[in-house]
Amino acid sequence: MLQRPGAARGVFAATGLPPIVWLLALFLAPLAVIWAYSFGENRTLVDIAITGSWANYARALKPLYLAILLKSLGFAALTTFICFILGLPVALAISFASPRAKLLLLLAVMLPFWTNLLIRTYALMAILRTEGLINSGIGAIWSLVPGLGPFEPLPLINNNFAVVVGLVYVHLPFMVLPLYAALDRLDRSLIEASLDLGAGHLATLFRVVVPLALPGIVSGIIITFIPALGAYLTPDLLGGTNSQMIANVIERQFRSANDWPFGAALSFLLMYMTFAALLLQSLIVRRHAGGAP
């Protein structure tokens, strides 16, 4: 039986309005302000005139900033790749585990989210630093073996290696969860059929599992790549003299440089790239859905 149309509209308004107001007032409106700033210029230390000038974007596209953006893309791509290589077996293992183990394993994947990112990063620093857990651990074993000479601590922190370790550590759950969701929905009989019909495990993985899980893989890659591209805390705390990422430059525009218009232009450059990535994702997913039998 159909409901009265008026009642349905009332229900829609009651449930839909709060999130729409939230989105408009707390997300889109501030974003629009920042967007307007990106076409402005500093008049005094506190006054920004919106002049409609493209000068901030022109400056953001200077080789200096493009090179930093490119480097950030590199960091994010490497992070995403490592997360995928590590995350796929983890997600497979979870999806094939017993229901009880599955629950515990998923909990373990999500557990880091219960701690603040800053605290986790400081914990990582305690592990990686020159006098940290890894180096003192290896040093202790080293001193037990005779004839090795003095132990030279490994350079584990304040370099690009530490940044990638930190980014992978932080973003791995973002990869594992969508991969798991996709793999868990997979029709197991297709895997059995593939194995029965003579395909090896690797062939089954790459020719059956991966194509079927493609939408999950694409979402995993996107939601790992985007936050990794905008990472700020990790390069700031774990990085060395060569680890500046674009978000660190943006942060300085809003703080020490007091140059909000330029910071806004750099942020929106990043935002446009994010939109492009999302567009790409929806194209891949749509083609995949269209091509499926």
Partner 1 sequence: MPDRLSRRAFGGLAVALALGGCARRWPKGANGEEQRLNFYNWDTYTGETTLADFQAATGVEVNMSHYANNDELFARLRAGNPGYDVIVPSNEFVTRLQISGMLSPLDHARIPNRANLAPEFVNVAYDPGRRWSMPYTWLALGIGYRKSRVDGVPDSWKWVLDSDRYSGRIGLLAEGDDLIRLGARYLGHSVNAVTPAVMEEVTQLLIRQKRHVKLFHHDEGQDLLAAGEIDLVVEYNGDIAQVIAEDDDLAFVVPREGTLFNSDCLCVPAGAPRPDNAHRFINFLLDAKVGAEITRTIRYPTPNAAALALMPEEYRANPAIFPSGPAMARSEYGRFQSIAHIRAVEEAITRVMAA
Query: Beta strands of the chain (E only): which ranges?
Result: 40-42, 48-50
Question: Largest Cα–Cα distance of the chain, in whole Å?
Answer: 87
Q: How far is the CB of 64 from partner 1 (least distance, A)?
A: 6
Residue 145 in contact with partner 1, rule: CB under 8 A: no
Residue 255 or 286: which CB sits closer to partner 1?
A: 255
Q: How far is the CB of 114 from partner 1 (least distance, A)?
A: 15
CA nearest to 221, candidates 71, 80, 68, 93: 80
Q: How far is the CB of 259 from partner 1 (least distance, A)?
A: 6
How far, in Å, CA of 81 to CA of 74, rounded? 10
How far, in Å, CA of 83 to CA of 171, rounded? 7
How far, in Å, CA of 185 to CA of 28, rounded? 35
Mutual orientation of helices 260-291 and 29-37 as an angle, nearest 10°?
Answer: 120
Show contacts with partner 1 in window 252-281 (CB under 8 A): 252-259, 262
Amino acid present at 137: G
Q: How far is the CB of 47 from partner 1 (least distance, A)?
A: 9
Site string for partner 1, 65-104 (x = CB under 8 A): x-xx--x---------------------------------
Candidates 24-32, 37-45, 82-90, 208-216; binding stretch for partner 1 (CB under 8 A): 37-45
Q: Which residues bind partner 1 (CB under 8 A)?
A: 42, 44-46, 64-65, 67-68, 71, 116, 118-119, 122, 129-131, 158, 236, 240-242, 244, 248-249, 252-259, 262
